[in-house]
Structure 1
Amino acid sequence: MDNKLKKSLKFSLSIAVITFVLAAIFSVISSSVLSGVMWIIGLVIVFIIVFTGVIFDMLGIAATAAHEKPFHAMASEKVSGAKEAIIIVRNADRFASFCNDVIGDISGIVSGTASAIVVLQVVNVLGYSDGSTVQITISVILTSIVAALTVGGKALGKFFAINSSTKIIFFAARVIAWLESTTKIRILSNASSTNKKTR
């Protein structure tokens, strides 16, 4: 088997496992939190989940659109986050896969589950029975709103990701650099171990 194919399969398997674990964790947490709050707070949480998916989708696209060159100049001046930005750009495919496919898809799934919980809460507050016409109507409206915000938000995010990729990736890199220095946990792999590419 080709070495590149082996690496691709290994990465795909690891992403699948990570997605399974994160999806389970986020689903349990969101369900637990939503079951103990008012429906209006639950609705805000749903929108936060949608917004999270939009932001990570924008990050993934920005990584594929960004170029290394600006960050090399920053790295030579030892600007915080420059090295992390280079690593992100060199591993744009993996970074985008994690942001778009893992976090993005999980956000979509969890927001759908959370929306269903909010709908049940609203129906209970209004005093209607489960499966009523009112519940179906509210469910359709909320689902449509979530879908519109998701698609519209990602469309807007793509515009910013393509036109401001350097700024977006540098901001993300600085956040990662801060997290690494604070938690002492290595989030990004070493740049020397990645497949370098010149742009």
Structure 2
Amino acid sequence: MGTSNKNKNSKQENGERRWLITIVITTFVISGTVSLISESTLSKVNILVALAILFGIILLGVVFDIVGTAVTAGDETPFHSMASKRVPEAKIVVKLIRNASKVSNFCNDVIGDVAGIISGSVGVVIVSKILQAKPNLNQILIAATISAVIAAMTVGGKAMGKKVAISKSNDILFSVSKIIYFFQLIGKGKNPFKNKKIDIKNKKQLIQK
């Protein structure tokens, strides 16, 4: 029995180590890719487009934070009956909830933190563009204003998002599962639009049970 527990602990440690390595590599790749795209794009656009990119990055962070919170607050029980009726999205939700720590780690920490870091970098570029267009403006004041806007939107968005994520966790997870399933079908070379769709009323009833 002692050997069995030892092997179990060893497998768990190896799994955690692999997950840590995966997260580090994923964070590096995502951060580098998004930074490269945003930096190369921002140098060619005007201030309004740059602001739109900034808001898009902040929104991305907020959306993933909502998903990360929803997966920790979700209840897999209502999806068991759906899974038994061979609803593929329900199976995905159950899998997400059972791996809540990893999913929330990826959504909240990886994507959320990367979005926060990159939004700060984009803010610096926007300040630079504003000062190039209006060199007489106070640099410190402009930088402080942009930073305050980024912080307010990020914190405010996540605060509101968390409330929604907790109260509507199962609905959010089901929507996420549909997106995941859509791309799974595309990855398998299938047409996702030919698959049967669940009646919305029945879906809501099943989730609320």
TM-score with structure 1 setting the length: 0.87
- What is the SS of the residue equivalent to 2:106? helix
RMSD of aligned residue pairs (Cα, Å)? 1.5
Among the aligned pairs, what percent are the same residue? 38
Letter in 2 for 1:184: K
Distance 1:5 1:179 in 2: 31
Q: Name the CA distance, whole Å, in 1 between partners of 2:83 and 2:128.
A: 52
For 2:106, give the aligned amino acid: F
Partner of 2:188: 184
**Is 1:74 the counterpart of 2:78 in the alignment?**
no
Corresponding residue of 2:131: 123
The separation in 2 between residues aligned to 1:123 and 1:32, in whole angstroms, is 19
Residue correspondence of structure 1 range 159-170 to structure 2 within 5 A: 159-170=163-174
**SS of match in other structure, 1:67:** coil
**Residue aligning to 1:194:** none
1:96-116 C-alpha deviation (Å, 9 max, x unpaired):
111011110100011000111
1:54 aligns with 2:66: no
Q: After TM superposition, list the pairs within 5 Å mapping 1:66-105 onto structure 2.
A: 66-105=74-113
Describe the superposition over 1:83-137 as per-residue Cα deviations: whole angstroms up to 9, x where unpaired: 1111111111111111011110100011000111011011101134xxxx71221
Structure 1 ranges of 4+ moved more than 6 A: none
Task: Give how far 1:80 is off.
Answer: 4.3
Report SS of the residue matched to 1:81.
Answer: helix
TM-superposition CA deviations, 1:156-198 (whole Å, max 9, x none): 111111111000000000110001101339xxxxxxxxxxxxx
1:138 aligns to 2:175 (yes or no): no
Q: Distance in 1 between matches of 2:98 and 2:60?
A: 24
Cα deviation code 1:12-47 (max 9, x no counterpart):
121011101111111010101111100111011101
Distance, in Å, in 1 between the alignment partners of 2:139 and 2:90 is: 51
Deviations along 1:52-97, one digit per CA (max 9) or x if unpaired, are: 0001011001001101111111112233411111111111111111
- Provide the rounded CA distance (Å) in 1 between the counterparts of 2:44 and 2:188: 34
Counterparts of 1:98 and 1:10, CA distance in 2: 14
Matched, 1:5 2:9: no
Structure 1 unpaired stretches of 5+: 186-199
Give, in whole Å, the separation in 1 of the partners of 2:163 and 2:13.
32
Instruction: Name the SS for the 1:56 alignment partner.
Output: helix
Q: Mark the runs of 5 or more structure 2 residues left unpaired by the alignment.
A: 1-5, 190-209
Distance across 2 between alignment mates of 1:135 and 1:100: 32
Q: Distance in 2 between matches of 1:96 and 1:83?
A: 18
Q: Which residue of 1 is the match for residue 29 of structure 2?
A: 21
Aligned length: 181
What amino acid does structure 1 have at the position aligned with 2:30?
A: L
